[in-house]
Amino acid sequence: MSIRRDISDGVLVVSIDRPERRNAIDRATSEAIADAMDQLDADDSLRVGILTGAGGNFSTGMDLKAFLAGERVELPGRGLAGIIKTPPEKPLIAAVEGYALAGGFEIALACDLIVASHSARFGLPEARRGLIAGSGGLIRLPERMPRQIAMECAMTGRMIEADEALRWGLVNRLVETGEAVAGALALAAEICLSAPAALIASKRIVARAGRWPEETLWQRQDELLEDIINSRDAREGAAAFAEKRDPVWSTGSD
């Protein structure tokens, strides 16, 4: 198997399990990750996903040996690892140890949040190979850090160490080496305190509002807001606050 799946307390942990290839992505791995993301969205008992890599590295991107052998590593309509173009609707956290380079960095950027250990190294070296970071890196990186720094990284291909990634706001939390998954699970537990439908709507607005035309911005947000205001969870949240108790959320399909 090219990935492992573990479920705990509503969190799906997906581990890319090709340590001998530094978790490089071949076709089978793209398909397996895509299937896991479909599971995350379809299973109402799952609230948050975590994507990580086995063996001390996140991923070094496309498996060049597979590519040279004729494999089409990207999935039609979904891209590299099955999430570049179509991330899941539910929150997804990247737990990064070691290298997240090239397409591996782009996979991390396709996630909503990043928890990194001190061993983490990020980079887009494609220009040094005569290529460009065409799996979302050039689009998403300037949204996560200052544009001029993103430009420098894209043009020089240099690696960003964990401390610098934290300084630029590229990662949400920095933890000790070997603790990225534990840190991501702690963050996921905080996220799971929120209502499922509210999480999905919030993610959709934050992820897409920057690309909505200004004249439709409020209309698009209000359409999502109306559904949330009229939901069972909105009433439950207000009641729980008034009664000084923990809310009991519905499933995502309620």
**Average pLDDT of 115-124?**
98
| pLDDT of residue 20 exceeding 60 | yes
Q: Which CATH code of 1.10.3110, 1.10.287, 1.10.12, 2.40.10 fits the domain covering 196-242?
A: 1.10.12
Query: Helix H segments across 4-63?
Result: 27-42
Q: Contact at 8 Å (CB) between 142 and 149?
A: no
**Using a CB cutoff of 8 Å and minimum separation of 24, what contacts does 209-216 make?**
210/143
| For the chain, domain boundaries | 3-191, 196-242
Please state, in angstroms and rounded to a whole number, the distance separating the CA atoms of residues 75 and 82: 6
Nearest 5°: phi and psi at 42? Answer: -85, -25
Q: Which residue has the higher pLDDT, 252 or 234?
A: 234
**Average pLDDT of 16-29?**
95
Share of the chain above pLDDT 70, in %: 99
pTM: 0.94
pLDDT at residue 253, as a whole number: 47
Q: Give the residue among 117, 146, 122 at the shortest CA–CA distance from 133.
A: 122
Share the mean pLDDT of the chain: 95
pLDDT at residue 204, as a whole number: 93
Per-residue pLDDT band at 73 (split at 50, 70, 90)? very high
Per-residue pLDDT band at 182 (split at 50, 70, 90)? very high
Q: Which CATH code of 3.30.70.1280, 3.30.70.270, 3.90.226.10, 2.60.40.10 fits the domain covering 3-191?
A: 3.90.226.10
Per-residue pLDDT band at 1 (split at 50, 70, 90)? confident
Q: So which residues are the catalytic ones? A: 106, 126
Please state, in angstroms and rounded to a whole number, the distance separating the CA atoms of residues 117 and 98: 8
Strand partners, 175: 117
**Average pLDDT of 177-182?**
98
Per-residue pLDDT band at 57 (split at 50, 70, 90)? very high
Which residues, at least 6 apart from 198, have a Cβ–Cβ distance to it below 8 Å?
228, 233
Please state, in angstroms and rounded to a whole number, the distance separating the CA atoms of residues 169 and 153: 15
Q: Contact at 8 Å (CB) between 31 and 66?
A: no
Please state, in angstroms and rounded to a whole number, the distance separating the CA atoms of residues 92 and 46: 11
| Helix (H) or strand (E) segment spanning residue 35 | helix 27-42
150-167 in b/e burial notation, b at 16+ Cβ within 10 A? beebbeebebbbbeebbe
Which residues, at least 6 apart from 8, have a Cβ–Cβ distance to it below 8 Å?
185
